[in-house]
A = this chain, B = another copy of it.
Amino acid sequence: MNTREKLLTLLKKAEGTWVSGDDLARKVALTRSAVWKHVCRLREQGCAIESSPRKGYLLTQRPDRLVADEIREALETRNFGKREVVCLERTESTNTSARSLALRGAPEGTLVVAETQTQGRGRKGRSWYSPMRDGVYVSIVLRPRLLLNQAGRIPILASLALAETFIGLGISDVSIKWPNDVLLRGRKVAGILTEVGAEMDSVDYMIIGVGINVNTPKFPRSLQGSATSLFMESGSRFFRSMILAQYLTRLEKDYSLYRKGVTGSVLARWKDLAGVMGRRVSVEAAGRNSQGVVEDLDEDGALIVRSRGGGRVRVCSGDIRFLDVHDRGRSGKGGG
């Protein structure tokens, strides 16, 4: 948890009573003026915090709305979300909305955010549970200069940025499940749906859609074994605009590196967080099943699986199931 999150937690704990600036400063080990700066920042992000020279600070309202101005202000990006930000109360699917924009020429960095999705989509025609105001449902338009067969690189960046965002919030036991789910203690907390529009020679646009289960208090029975939320794992409610901002900031940073050809650090960090490296898996792809030990992830996002016979298979897409017993990374099938 960073300082600003800590301050917010302290104010929240006071449950509508005033907290003195001295108290806050002591507890976060900062000066009173530094506390003041953080409070200003929290206000920018949508918190109603009263201040009084004598009484200190009072959290009167902690709205958690995803509106364009708040998102833009919370962002520390250069491009992502700095131009077109479309915030919708409800939409069929943020990916579908973002695709329409992309086809009409929307520039890289265009965002579509919704408070709920009526037909939230996951991979392979699965649905994504999108309860009103509980999660972050966002899609971003990218226009990478990639060949079509290099498109698999992008979901790698997206899952890494998500996982590192959660780690940055102080959440433990975060792992990535190839190709692009993020798990907390083996349960799915976020998923990614990447769509591509391309000619054979070059990618025209990519849409990275992300669903993050943030403050979801409970899942429908069918998802209870496989899905979780940041709230359920940590006991804290989170500002969704802050999470969105952190995710986009991380994503943009790695995306810029990747465009410059700096892939080593991204892949290394991804592998560190991936629950799959070195594990024995069964891969279901294009109707074929293969088994083996995961040996590597290549820079195009394909999993390199060594079969028992010693041969290597390059798996570009599909679902994996773990065959070995392991304390982390349950199969996490189904989804939030």
Contact = CB atoms under 8 A, between A and B. Distances in A.
A316 interface: yes
Nearest to A202: B124
A198 interface: yes
A191 interface: no
A325 interface: no
A197 B200 contact: no
A148 B196 contact: yes
A57 B151 CA distance: 59
A152 B123 CA distance: 22
Interface string A120-150: 0001100000000000000000000001111
A197 B99 CA distance: 10
Given A123-B201, A201-B318, A286 B147 contact: yes
Interface string A295-328: 0000001000000000000001110000000000
B147 A148 contact: no
Of listed A152, A194, A200, residue having the most chain B CB within 10 A: A200
A197 B199 CA distance: 9
8 contacts: A123-B201, A147-B317, A148-B316, A150-B286, A151-B200, A193-B199, A195-B197, A197-B197
Interface of A: 99, 103, 123-124, 147-152, 155, 179-180, 193-202, 204, 285-286, 301, 316-318
